[in-house]
Structure 1
Amino acid sequence: MRKLKRRSGNEGGTAIAGALLLWTCASPALAASYGAGIENSQWYLSESVFECSLVQEVPGFGRAVFSHRAGEDLAFHLESTVALMKPGRGQLVVEAPVWRPGVAPRSVGPVSVSDGQRSVSIGAREANIMAQGLLQGMQPTLTRVSRYAQEPVRVSLSNVNFSAPFSGYLQCVSGLLPVNYDQIRRSRVPFASGGAELSEADRTLLDNIVTYVRADSTIERVLVDGHSDSIGSRIDNRALSEERANVVAEYLKAQGLDEELLVVRSHGDQFPVSRRHRDNRRVTIRLQRQGERPELQQASGSGASFSG
């Protein structure tokens, strides 16, 4: 009688894992699948000068969101009401819906799945591939092993009713502001030694600040603080920091910023941020929204901290 060769534990585990992977990839129907059907596939457009977004409800899972903030690129994220995917690396593909058999899927690449409500966040490259796939009648699909079982979880986006909202999204993007609040809430204008002139790059920054502030009615204060390095006398440095602050403030007003929003101050060399003199020759511009606690009530050397 021929004896059967016994496999080692590692060999047997590897074989089982390989068979499971093959079974998973070849049998998507056995996965826990989530996605809107033809009858309930809707994309909702939300538009403003601050952000444009396209949202699809994914029944049983959560929401799929394409978002494009002012001053940034298109991004995508999944919001899950219940954490169904195990944290780790998932796979994103653009594949044909079931009613278009015979079309090979296209791999987009690995995607990180994390804990939390926003379990998946995807950057501009992948988000644009997904959007183009939807326009071509395909469905982007993310697959990741389940948190609670060995079966995979598949989340698919439906292309049904996507085209018209996407056209609206493109129109919305063309009207976005050049920057968003996070990008310009704290800004810095550098100066040459002894100088108080604005460069072309400085003017572009200040133009963007004016454009944003005029669009955001929640901004209640624009704080302009002038600074100098410690070279020379303190009296001269104080005068130079005042001149720099006034140059910036006058430019902002000339571009249409409401003068009542401005708080202009000068500090000389009182608040250095670096040992390098060039870093201290600056004007800082800080935006303050309604309800936000001001970080600095009064710039003084006694008891008040200054981080501008």
Structure 2
Amino acid sequence: MVSPNWFFRQSRLLKLLATAGLMSLPSAPVLSSSYGAGIENSQWYLSESVFECSLVHEVPGFGRAVLRHRAGEDLRFYLESDLSVMRPGQGQLVVEAPPWRPGVPPSPIGAVQVTDSPRSVNLGNREAVLIAQGLSRGMQPTVTRAAVYSGQPVRVQLSNVNFSGPYAGYRECVASLLPVNFDQVRRSRVPFASGSTSLSQADMNLLDNIVTYVMADSTVERIFVDGHSDSIGSRIDNRALSEERANVVAEYLKSRGIDETMLTVRAHGDQYPVSRRPADNRRTTIRLQRQGERPELLQANGMGSEFSG
């Protein structure tokens, strides 16, 4: 039987030889931590409305992956986790084949930025579309980045199992999305030429989108329409001109189906300029108020207020 001292002496000898450069010691294998759903627990959940279409995938041990498409915006993708497992910095996104498809080469998408926020990976339209396309082809998009407390790589994989059905529903949902979302129309501005009260085609398109949104969102309870003018001319004339501009917008909204009781129409003349440029001050602003908001906290200070848009 070999004694423990023999193993000790051999280990010491190997270290001395390595130090002298006469031999090299084998390096320790680099282990990786992988997060991903298996065949038995891979699910994709579709959340759909006229405001947003989302595909949510639970990644066991990590968190969730989300493909999100808001009305009026492009598709986006993000990874969300309550625990920070990836070190902030540059990671890599690759679309790989699952183990049961050997021989299919991976498709690198490129570098991605990893942050220490709960939404550690947040990608734009290009990457999101490539991820969705990869999943629909039976592939596994994978984000790789070093772990927070070690140099070992962390791999977060998205499973394509049970993806095709929810993805078909997602595509139908996208076709029914509103043209805009609340953030895009909650404050809007209609510009006017000097002395004009006429709406351009672009102005009418904007107002049509506002009407479409308000008709769909029952939480919008009031629409503030505020007319403004530049400071050229008399105060009396400017006040009258701003009133005409506000009324033109309000009448258009009513003609498209907005209930008159929802509208609060006001005219301010040149009282609230937003710029030294006269063209910037010739405007009517539209602000949507949702249930529970407190408009009394807003001031007519010309910037970021309910009057300035």
TM-score of the aligned structures, taking structure 1 as reference length = 0.88
Distance 1:32 1:5, change over 3 A: closer
- The reply on whether 1:148 has 2:149 as its aligned counterpart is yes
- The reply on whether 1:127 has 2:128 as its aligned counterpart is yes
Counterpart position of 2:83: 82
Contact 1:296 1:305 in 2 (8 A): no
Counterpart position of 2:238: 237
Distance 1:159 1:221, change over 3 A: same
268-277 vs 97-106, which moves further:
97-106
Contact 2:226 2:307 in 1 (8 A): no
Q: 1:41-89 CA distances to partner (integer Å, 9 max, x unpaired)? A: 1100000000000001000000000000000000000111211001111
Contact 2:298 2:306 in 1 (8 A): no
Q: 1:183-234 CA distances to partner (integer Å, 9 max, x unpaired)? A: 1111000000000000000000000000001111111111000000011111
- The reply on whether 1:95 has 2:64 as its aligned counterpart is no
Counterpart position of 1:207: 208
Q: Displacement of 1:307 after TM fit?
A: 4.0
Q: Displacement of 1:269 after TM fit?
A: 0.4
Query: How many percent of aligned residue pairs carry the same amino acid?
Result: 72
Letter in 1 for 2:172: Q
Contact 1:226 1:245 in 2 (8 A): yes
Counterpart position of 2:58: 57
Counterpart position of 2:270: 269
Unmatched tracts of structure 2, length 5 or more: 1-17, 22-26
Distance 1:47 1:161, change over 3 A: same
Secondary structure of the structure 1 residue equivalent to 2:245 = helix
Letter in 2 for 1:219: V
**RMSD (CA atoms):** 2.2
- The reply on whether 1:40 has 2:61 as its aligned counterpart is no
Letter in 2 for 1:181: F
Counterpart position of 2:7: none
Contact 2:211 2:257 in 1 (8 A): yes
Q: Displacement of 1:275 after TM fit?
A: 0.4
Contact 1:296 1:306 in 2 (8 A): no
TM-score of the aligned structures, taking structure 2 as reference length = 0.88
Distance 1:150 1:298, change over 3 A: closer
- Based on CA coordinates, which of the two structures has the bigger radius of gyration? 2
**Runs in 1 of length 4+ with deviation above 6 angstroms?**
4-7
Q: Displacement of 1:116 after TM fit?
A: 1.6
Letter in 2 for 1:170: R
Counterpart position of 2:197: 196
Counterpart position of 1:138: 139
Number of residue pairs matched by the alignment: 286
